[in-house]
Amino acid sequence: MTDKPAYPVQLVQPDGRRVFDREHAALVADIGPERLRALYEDLVVSRRIDTEATALQRQGQLGLWPPLLGQEAAQVGSARALRPDDYVFCSYREAAVAYCRGVDPGDLTRLWRGAAHHCWDPAAINMTNPNIVVGSQGLHATGYAYAAHLDGAEIGTIAYFGDGASSQGDIAEAMGFAASWGAAVVFFCQNNHWAISAPVRVQSATPIVRRAFGYGIPGVQVDGNDVLAVLAVTRQALARARSGGGPSFIEALTYRMGPHTTADDPSRYRFAAETELWKRRDPIDRMRRLLEREDLWDSDIDKQVTARADEVAHRLRTATIEMADPDPMRLFDHVYATPHPLLTEQRRAYAEYLAGDPGTSSAPPEGVRA
């Protein structure tokens, strides 16, 4: 006897038609006309942030940028399920989540321009900065969630990662700990089908969500290009976390339409036909078709959304180009929690080097790059 096949949760089809799903539709029953339009605006603005940042990198204004093109619904839907006191542990691609959490568009590129070691203040929005160490945020999120539970905080914690990171030992260890100790963390896997040039089929012989079952963690697979479906399942998982129900796993099926980063050329490892297939499942087109079907769309809304996207893009571009270079002496800030004699000596020697003191070497002090 075979198990009944489980299909990804979907509430809106690519052509904009609603899907009958009593359980999950009930979780977003409060999303009326105005909030549907607001979600559409979030999607459009998120894409504009991404295209503007990509353009800035191509123009030499950023050193690197990790595009999120095609993944807007997975990020916006999950981010809008969060409460202000919930905590987010991101990877490096969650610019849309950061926008929804309230990050100033002008701060989104600070790290990628090389002007700072961070983009925003994590304490201000309860969200960590972009994390380049693949998968490590799963451990951080699990520890935070467990500590919050010990403190009696009724919050949710969410960890974002990709299909490639699901093969990292850090994610496996995090799920093992979370399951054993009931840590209230939501593992949110954006399965965009490509870990740089490695297709998802080499990450797992079964759907990634099934890995969670082996740890005793409940999981769900969702259409990651359906913003309402993502909102519904994330709300469900976060409610479980806040009520002491332990961890959950969400696999959002989406697609990275662009390169892994702006240093990548996806045409070298994937076919245009595959990209074209996913283009027909575009999350923004899907949401607009839903609005049109339900008579919630007109030219005034289109102008309003476009104006907001233009405003955000202008803020991002202007702030990036006008961003001041950091003081070189800040290199020594936040290295140790307490004063350290070696660092003090390096700071002194580097200051003399920068000042061009004739009594110093023409090279920077040992251990410090010019």
- What average pLDDT does the segment 85-90 reach? 98
Angle CA(284)–CA(128)–CA(344) in degrees, nearest 5?
Answer: 145
pLDDT in tens, 176-231: 999 999 999 999 999 999 999 999 999 899 999 999 999 999 999 999 999 999 99
Which pLDDT belongs to residue 367?
60
For the ranges 24-33, 78-87, 325-334, 344-353, the lowest mean pLDDT is seen at 325-334
pLDDT in tens, 116-145: 989 999 999 999 999 999 999 999 999 999
Which pLDDT belongs to residue 7?
87
Catalytic residues: 256, 260, 269
C-alpha 249/C-alpha 184 separation (Å) is 11
**Residue pair 185/145 in contact by the 8 Å Cβ criterion:** yes
Which amino acid, one-letter code, is at 123?
A
pLDDT in tens, 247-286: 999 999 999 999 999 999 999 999 999 999 999 999 999 9
Which pLDDT belongs to residue 1?
41
C-alpha 105/C-alpha 124 separation (Å) is 14
Q: Strand, coil or helix: what is 311? A: helix
Which pLDDT belongs to residue 3?
59
C-alpha 348/C-alpha 344 separation (Å) is 6
- Average pLDDT over the chain reads 94
Confidence class of residue 44 from pLDDT cuts 50, 70 and 90?
Answer: very high
- What average pLDDT does the segment 311-323 reach? 98
pLDDT in tens, 150-190: 999 999 999 999 999 999 999 999 999 999 999 999 999 99
% of the chain exceeding 70 in pLDDT: 95
Instruction: Give the helix ranges, DSSP H, for 59-168.
Output: 72-79, 95-101, 110-113, 122-125, 136-150
DSSP 161-219: EETTGGGSHHHHHHHHHHHHHT--EEEEEEE-SEETTEEGGGT-SS-THHHHHHTT--E
pLDDT in tens, 345-370: 999 999 999 998 655 555 565 665 55
Confidence class of residue 46 from pLDDT cuts 50, 70 and 90?
Answer: very high
- What average pLDDT does the segment 292-305 reach? 97
**Residue pair 155/87 in contact by the 8 Å Cβ criterion:** yes
